[in-house]
Chains A and B, each alone.
Chain A
Amino acid sequence: MSQSYNRGTVEDFGRWREFTAGMWAWIFHKFTGWVLVGYLFTHIAVLSTAVGVDPASAQAGSDLYTSTISGLESLLIVRFLEVGLLAVAVFHILNGIRLLMVDLGVGLESQDKSFYASLLLTGAIVVASVPTFLGGKLA
């Protein structure tokens, strides 16, 4: 059976050198969660350009939705931000699977190793994805 510990003063970042793998996992999961929920609201705001699209301009590819997305995608900074978003999402997914396993009582003794594995796998997936994200037409 797993056990929840009083996290004490994790927020006291002055003692970050003393943080264990579990503390870092908790901090990273929370940070990536804040980024993702912020992005969710932004994403729906951008996709709102699809409301009221004129069918004729959609046929011509000159509607607001298409031009907004292609305009954003033409900016190199947006491509890099997307890579950052991928990193955040992949870590949140992998560490989330790790948390589900922990809650099911699976692999409790290797929580630190599974955290390091989440970090390594996130890094590998992100690096392998960079060509795809930076590819395609740019301005």
Chain B
Amino acid sequence: MAEHYSSFDRGGRRWLFQRLTAVFLVGVLAFHFMLLHFVNHAADLTFLGTQARMNRPWYLITMWLFLVTATFHGVNGVYNALVNQGLTGSRKNAVKYLLGIAGILLIVQGTRVSLAMTTLV
């Protein structure tokens, strides 16, 4: 049997949501890279060009879901990696709340940025 290494306990909620967000992120991260580096060169990006893309509802919703799932996937991944390295007790709780707050702040700021890139507000 081949060896399998993971920072996650299989079957738990954190593991399940990490996998579910991964399925979405695989596609949307590849799309994001393709669109903003190959279809449009990053050096040629302008606010007006970004605004035109973000004013399309499907694109705005996709990018916002990208923000939320990437934040969850990243923060949950860091938390599980630290727990897997032996983080326990009050330090584990402190890290959990610190990462949770950092994630929420990132989503709030990312949402502000997303809306600022549209003509909706």
Contact = CB atoms under 8 A, between A and B. Distances in A.
A58 B50 CA distance: 11
Contacts of B22: 96, 99-100
Interface residues of A, number: 58
Interface string A62-79: 010110011001100000
Interface in B56-90: 67, 70-71, 74-75, 77-78, 81, 85
Contacts of B23: 100
A26 B29 CA distance: 21
Interface in B83-119: 85, 102, 106, 109-110, 112-113, 116-117
B19 A100 contact: yes
Contacts of A89: 29, 33
A107 to B, nearest CB: 9
Interface string A1-35: 01111010011000000001011011000100110
B104 to A, nearest CB: 13
B5 A136 contact: no
Contact of B29 (A23, A53, A74, A93): A93
Interface residues of B, number: 45
A47 interface: yes
Contacts of A48: 109, 112-113
A86 interface: yes
A111 B2 contact: yes
Given A5-B4, A22-B5, A25-B5, A50 B43 contact: no
* 5 pairs of A and B residues whose beta carbons are closest in the complex: A37-B74, A26-B5, A136-B43, A73-B43, A22-B3
Interface of A: 2-5, 7, 10-11, 20, 22-23, 25-26, 30, 33-34, 36-37, 40-41, 44, 47-48, 50-53, 58-59, 61, 63, 65-66, 69-70, 73-74, 82, 86, 89, 93, 96-97, 99-100, 102-103, 108-112, 129, 132-133, 135-138
15 contacts: A2-B1, A22-B4, A26-B7, A33-B74, A40-B74, A44-B109, A47-B110, A50-B47, A66-B45, A89-B33, A93-B26, A93-B30, A99-B6, A100-B23, A110-B2
